[in-house]
Amino acid sequence: MDITIDGQVVSVPEGTSLMRAAALMGATIPKLCATDSLEAFGSCRLCLVEVEGRAGYPASCTTPATAGMVVRTQTEKLKKLRRGVMELYISDHPLDCLTCAANGDCELQDQAGAVGLREVRYDPTSANHLGQAKDTSNPYFDFDPSKCIVCSRCVRACDEVQGTFALTIQGLGFGSKVAASQGEDFFGSECVSCGACVQACPTATLIEKKVVEVGTPDTSVVTTCAYCGVGCTFRAEMRGEELVRMVPWKEGKANRGHSCVKGRFAWGYANHQERILNPMIRASIDEPWREVSWSEAFGHTASEFRRIQATYGKSSVGGITSSRCTNEETFLVQKLVRAGFGNNNVDTCARVCHSPTGYGLKTTFGTSAGTQDFDSVMASDVVVIIGANPTDGHPVFASRLKRRLREGARLIVIDPRRTDIVRSPHVEADHHLPLRPGTNVAVLTAMAHVIVTEGLSDEVFIRERCDLSEYADWAEFVSDPRHSPESTEPLTGVAAAEVRAAARLFATGGNGAIYYGLGVTEHSQGSTTVMAIANLAMVTGNIGREGVGVNPLRGQNNVQGACDMGSFPHELSGYRHVSDDAARAMFKDLWGAELDHAPGLRIPNMLDAAVDGTFKGLYIQGEDILQSDPDTRHVSAGLAAMECVVVQDLFLNETANYAHVFLPGSTFLEKDGTFTNAERRIQRVRKVMTPKNGLADWEVTQGLAQALGYDMAYDHPSQIMDEIAALTPSFAGVSYDRLDELGSVQWPCNEAAPEGTPIMHMDGFVRGRGKFVRTEYVPTEERTGPRFPLLLTTGRILSQYNVGAQTRRTENSRWHTEDRLEIHPHDAEQRGIVDGDWVRVASRAGETSVRAELTDRVAPGVVYTTFHHPGTQANVVTTDNSDWATNCPEYKVTAVQVGKSNGPSDWQASYTVLSHRSRRIQPTIAAE
């Protein structure tokens, strides 16, 4: 429709606000309560306009345009009204602009100038709010109510963007004020420190402590967060080379301008005093470290690896890539192993968490990744969350999901534990299926039984898109009465009526999307569960369009990328098997090296071979296998048996206790490259500051390769990406120029999809027709019994990340100072345990001690802990059971006994001594 604003005609869509219409024609209307990330509110009264034929002065942010409307944004009356409104604000605001931390970065200051305010006539001694106490309790930002203009932007950001509802306007009229929860300080309130309120605040009321300390930033670089698999885009704002703040970038397609406490604030580890900045070597793990030059470190490592291979054979060494490093860095490590070491002994932490995703989805759909983009959830009508805790593990996605749920979408949660998403402000799951750990397959097959036997299958989709003979076989399998919810209830512990209701809702509720996490993959039947999820999606026709799909929530920032880059011992980049002659020929031609056609060793196989005396050298980039891998005693035995363990990391991590060479790593702030998030989105990581250790991680791998005699000669990571694109069909159209142009792309990005593929399998499955697979429930070998009657499962918490190496070195530790064991009050009472007691957790593999936390979040018979603190040693008790197809460890099911303890176990005490001894450094830096 056409409307006239200040004499100019502008054409706008129906429903456009007058403020937005004015912006489209280049006019700016003064405002304070309005922002493009929040719903219109109309409280500040600064954006008043005149509308011909209408009485009064409506707020332009809340007034929709109508055809033929004539609007004036600048008249003498409007100027007077706006100055009067602004004068009232300023009369109750500190006049300390010159010393205010937000000076030059304050919307109130800007708008006072915009409306032409030059004096304040009101008595400064009259009633005001200037004497209110500042709240400095939050470790990352301050709240100064004396500067608050009660615009409600912070409250609305907490409600609309984050979905926590932790802030409110308390009181009425002149007594109105922003309050956290029930008048608590910010630290003690329900606030999750996502930073949405700080970002929304137009004054210095909510402001980062770092800005107060350093001053407002003067330059910025757009980069990608290095925490979870959401892949949030941030604007890193700097003063010189000092990072001042990370501001969520509203153009980021994964986060849409939102963030969590980790990405927004927990980047201080980059400057932590414990960070190692010089290479170090030692002859024995009993000796102190000796600082050396890069050239000596490379030469020593190369000499040791050549010696080991000459003595024990070509296959006696290997490498481990990292899901925290960039695609380019990961690609170089597997290239070094294959072309430099001459074998396929390369593995990754991505296999240790999500390899069943690759196997299961490749088998059923033909690709080893999720099907949707994150925006897709806003078109979902029913959402299934299984084995994932998005509010803690993927909070930015969880905020978007909660927004969709508040709009009316339905929710099914399948999890042994009552996570926050089951019930939180304005959100409640329609069905929570609290299954017994290890019975995912039985529950999903029971849901499929209901759908097939009750005639709820999408016959049209199945006939057009799937293999009919395989479907018929699968349908016969799931229809067997032994798979009914009533038959499986004794196994799963989930009421049959709930399973039936959840299955009916998913099959009939509209667009159905499934999101899953490590609670699916980290099981002995992880791959089977992924295929069961794919079966559910196909039988209901929930694949290949917006609002549906199968969506793994990746744990670390580049789990997807590490898999894509060929980090598995049996697969080259792009998931092509090493036995594929044509694929190997491509690599041989470009790399100038013959590649082995036989799969190499996975991490547990490397450790087994080390104990057997045949595997002696290991290069580990950015991974702490001693803390993160299962059966800690076995990991330590394998590492101790090796003759040259090389750790490349930011800190002397737990694995470094057994290392002979330490190569200091670089943070995401100090490098260029790309990450690939959980939605297959490839995004640029841009260097914000000079590497404090002197080299980016890709340069370290290149230096080591050159010392070994294998020539790598890249000048910039963009050249590595060009090589990846040349060798990897799904990345064929990816380049730094393309990423800079589009912001990001989702693979496959190639000639057929030059701008990427947000939604997979739209016109057909990559493999041709969808494959239904029988999913027989096979109980885990890990059984409860009289000695070990409880089932332990593990997970993460919002403030901490993975093994805690980064977040424990930030103020985030104030929210989570130690790992605790959640235990149901009934189980605790039987054992004489009260809240806060030290308890011994023992399994068939080992034992550890933690403090107990009594809660009904877990059912009787189930206990739960996080693994963010190395002193907890949670993986001492986990077993070496693993997924039948991929060897992914079964972290989520461990039979244990819990009893009262006097404190840390003997193992923890001895481990602490070893860890302390390992950290001795002899500062003798050799000259370059």
Using one digit for the tens of pLDDT, what is the confidence trace for 249-306?
Answer: 999 999 999 999 999 999 999 999 999 999 999 999 999 999 999 999 999 999 999 9
Q: How confident is the model at residue 924 (pLDDT cuts 50, 70, 90)?
A: very low
Alpha carbon 915 to its chain's center: 29
Write down the residue that tokens 């990816």 correspond to. 734
CB 848 within 8 A of CB 903: no
Q: What pTM value is reported for the model?
A: 0.93
- The DSSP output letter for 270 is G
As a whole number of angstroms, the distance between CA 452 and CA 500 comes to 12
Sign of CA dihedral 535, 538, 539, 542: positive
Residue whose C-alpha is closest to residue 288's, from 26, 8, 741, 660: 660
pLDDT greater than 70 at residue 169 = yes
- Of 281, 266, 268, residue with least CA distance to 232: 266
- Tell me how crowded residue 444 is: count the other CB atoms within 10 A of its CB: 29
Q: Three-class SS of residue 753?
A: coil
**Average pLDDT of the chain?**
93
DSSP string computed for 138-198: SSSEEE-GGG-----HHHHIIIIII----EEEESSGGG-EEEETTTB-TTTSS----SHHH
In which residue are the tokens 């993959």 written?
Answer: 521
Q: Are 761 and 374 in contact (CB under 8 A)?
A: no
Q: What Å distances lie between residue 643 and 134, 284, 662, 695, CA to CA?
A: 57, 9, 14, 26
CA dist 168 → 33, 62, 128, 772 (Å): 15, 21, 20, 50
pLDDT in tens, 476-528: 999 999 999 999 999 999 999 999 999 999 999 999 999 999 899 888 899 99
CA pair distance 357, 363, nearest whole angstrom: 10
**In contact, 549 and 543? CB cutoff 8 Å:** yes
Q: Which residues of 725-749 are buried (b: 16+ CB within 10 A; e: fewer)?
A: bebbbbbbbbbbebbeeeebbbbbb
Mean pLDDT of 113-132: 87
Residue 897: both structure tokens together = 């006994």
- Beta bridge partner(s), residue 246: 236
CA distances 574 to 175, 350, 731, Å, are: 62, 15, 8
pLDDT computed for residue 620 by the predictor: 96
Separation between Cα atoms, residue 722 and residue 718, nearest integer Å: 6
Please say if the pLDDT value at position 734 is more than 60.
yes
Instruction: State the pLDDT at residue 926.
Output: 39
Q: What's residue 927's pLDDT?
A: 36
Of 444, 498, 502, 512, give the one whose Cα is nearest residue 772: 444
Total residues found in the chain within this entry: 928
Cα–Cα distances (Å) from 71 to 35, 51, 68, 365, in that order, read 21, 5, 10, 55
User: Is the model's pLDDT at 832 over the cut of 90?
Assistant: yes
Q: Give the Å distances, CA to CA, from 916 to 652, 867, 921.
A: 10, 20, 11
Residue 928 has pLDDT above 50, yes or no: no
Each residue's pLDDT tens digit, 77-109:
999 999 999 999 999 999 888 899 889 889 999
Question: What would the pLDDT profile of 857-873 be if each residue is shown by its tens digit?
Answer: 999 999 999 988 888 88
Mean pLDDT computed over 593-603: 94
The amino acid that residue 54 corresponds to is R
Provide mean pLDDT across the span 108-128: 88
At residue 922 the predicted structure's pLDDT band, cuts being 50, 70 and 90, is low
Which DSSP helix (H) or strand (E) runs through 8? Answer: strand 8-11
Q: Which two tokens stand for residue 557?
A: 């920032």
Burial class, 856, CB count within 10 angstroms (exposed 0-12 / middle 13-18 / buried 19+) = exposed
Beta bridge partners of 735: none
Which residues fall within 8 angstroms of residue 659, CB to CB, at 6 or more apart?
285, 645, 646, 647
Q: Quick one: pLDDT at residue 918?
A: 53
Tokens read off for 433: 């299926």
Q: Report the pLDDT value the prediction gives residue 595, as an integer from 0 to 100.
A: 95
How large is the average pLDDT for residues 805-829?
A: 94
Q: Report the alpha-carbon distance of residue 72 to residue 408 in Å, rounded.
A: 39
887-911 mean pLDDT: 82
**Is the bond into 748 cis (omega within 30 degrees of 0)?**
yes
Is the per-residue pLDDT at 581 higher than 90?
yes
Mean pLDDT along residues 907-927: 54
The Cα-based distances of 884 to 528, 551, 719 in angstroms read: 9, 22, 38
List, in sequence order, the alpha helices (H) in 570-696: 581-591, 603-612, 625-628, 632-640
Written as one string, the DSSP assignment of 769-808 is SB----------S----SSS-EEEEEE--TT--TTSTTGG
* Alpha-carbon span 372 to 759, nearest angstrom: 5
CB 340 within 8 A of CB 705: yes
167-196 average pLDDT score: 92
**What value does the mean pLDDT take over residues 877-883?**
84
Nearest to 891 by CA among 870, 871, 911, 874: 874
- Computed from CA positions of residues 193, 198, 199, 201, in that sequence, does the dihedral angle turn out positive or negative? positive
Q: Report the pLDDT averaged over residues 657-676.
A: 96
* pLDDT tens sequence across 28-75: 999 999 998 899 999 999 999 999 999 999 999 999 999 999 999 999
pLDDT higher than 60, residue 9? yes
CA distance 860 to 337: 47
pLDDT at 163 over 80: yes
3-state secondary structure of 349: helix
% of the chain beyond a pLDDT of 70: 98
CA 2 to chain CA mean position, Å? 44
pLDDT at res. 423: 94
Q: How many CB atoms lie within 10 A of CB 338?
A: 26
Q: Provide the b/e sequence for 677-711 (b: ≥16 CB within 10 Å).
A: bbbbbbbbbbbbbebbbbbbbbbbbbbbbebbebe
pLDDT of residue 500: 98
- Characterise 215 by phi-psi region: left (phi > 0), alpha (psi -120 to 50), beta (else): left
What distance in Å separates the CA atoms of residue 618 and residue 319, rounded to the nearest whole number?
5
Average pLDDT rounded to a whole number, residues 112-121? 90
Confidence at residue 126, expressed as pLDDT on a 0 to 100 scale? 83
The tokens 């099911």 sit on which residue? Answer: 893
- pLDDT recorded at residue 902: 86
E strand or H helix at 851: strand 847-854
Q: State how far the alpha carbon of 135 is from the alpha carbons of 61, 184, 210, 253, in Å.
A: 31, 10, 15, 34
CA pseudo-torsion sign 414, 393, 525, 849: negative
Write the CB contacts of 624 (distance below 8 Å, at least 6 apart in sequence). Answer: 649, 653, 654, 655, 803, 805
> Which amino acid is it at 609?
A
* Spatial contact of 255 and 283, defined as CB atoms under 8 Å apart: no
**What pLDDT score does 517 carry?**
92
- Quickly state the pLDDT bin for 891 (edges 50, 70, 90): confident
